[in-house]
Amino acid sequence: MTTLADEVVAVLTRRRLTVAAAESLTGGLVVAELVGVPGASAVVRGGVVAYHTELKHSVLGVDADLLADRGPVDPDVAAQMATRVRVVLRADAAPADVGLATTGVAGPDPQGGQRPGTVFVAVALGDDVEVRPLQLEGDRAAVRAGSVDAVLRLLLDVLGASGATASDVGPPVG
């Protein structure tokens, strides 16, 4: 059975695109899901887990005033995380082609006035950034898993490959 991560790696490989992830509430689960796919090393640059709010600014370069005014669970924070991680994880002097970001409240308690299950996922590709707001149900594990699925689905949507399977995108390039 083909997983979302299989689809993502296949599409990125075929299109010769690299990906980097900035994760907060998912704590590395997005990158773990992607690198679980054979051949992921051809496309996955890596990830930054910026769980603490200050790291979103000091490591990723998210605007400090934005974080102070709105907090870390915000669509503009997600957009900046996705955009900035592309540059933070550059290799051979080139930024990653695609940036992914997850930020939100896994629970069980509210954070910064946001209730558990409030999540923003983002995909940055070129100059375009798409952010998807989510309101997920369930315990911490369910919210985190739902966030991983949502950011991978958003990536496939942005790439115009939603619903594609590995056989639909052709053999890996390389």
| Per-residue pLDDT at 161 | 80
Is pTM beyond 0.85 here? yes
- The sign of the torsion formed by the CA atoms of 156, 52, 67, 140 equals positive
Spatial distance between the Cα atoms of 85 and 23, rounded to a whole number of angstroms:
10
| Per-residue pLDDT at 50 | 98
So what CATH class is 4-158?
Answer: alpha beta
Residues 6+ apart with CB under 8 A from 60: 22, 48, 50, 80, 81, 84, 85, 88
| Per-residue pLDDT at 1 | 85
Q: Nearest 10 degrees: CA dihedral of 111, 58, 29, 99?
A: 110
- Tens-digit pLDDT profile for residues 85-127: 999 999 999 999 999 999 999 999 999 899 999 999 999 999 9
Residue 77: both structure tokens together: 């924070």
Low-confidence ranges of the chain (pLDDT < 70): 162-174
| Per-residue pLDDT at 131 | 98
Spatial distance between the Cα atoms of 12 and 154, rounded to a whole number of angstroms:
14
Spatial distance between the Cα atoms of 12 and 14, rounded to a whole number of angstroms:
6
